[in-house]
Amino acid sequence: MKKVIRYDLIGSYKKEIKLHPQKQVESLGIEVHRYRGEPIGDCIFMLVSNLPLNLPEYIELSDYKF
């Protein structure tokens, strides 16, 4: 089942994540289908599947619609 996540750019920066957001999400085993950056919100929305049970604190489920 596909879901939308919100990737918090500031939160990942504070956790010293150096990978590109899409690469970081894929490294967690999550498959990315669509990707949209929102610079004004310092975040990226991604339509994904294969979500793990536990997400890092800088990634959260979202109601954003593609």
pLDDT digits (tens, 9 = 90+) for 8-37: 999 999 999 999 999 999 999 999 999 999
**Structural domain includes residue 56:** yes
The tokens for 29 are 């085993």
- Contact call for residues 37 and 49 (beta carbons, < 8 A): no
Q: Confirm whether 50 is domain-assigned.
A: yes
Residue 11 forms part of a structural domain: yes
pTM assigned to the model: 0.94
Question: Does 25 reside within a domain?
Answer: yes
According to the model, what pLDDT value does residue 28 have?
Answer: 98
Is residue 43 one of the residues assigned to a domain?
Answer: yes
In a domain, 66, yes or no: no
**Residues 25/59/66/23 CA torsion (nearest 10 deg):** -20
Q: Count structural domains, the chain.
A: 1
**Containing structural domain, residue 34:** 3-61
What proportion of the chain, given as a percentage, has pLDDT over 70? Answer: 100
Specify the pLDDT at position 16. Answer: 98
pLDDT in tens, 31-49: 999 999 999 999 999 999 9
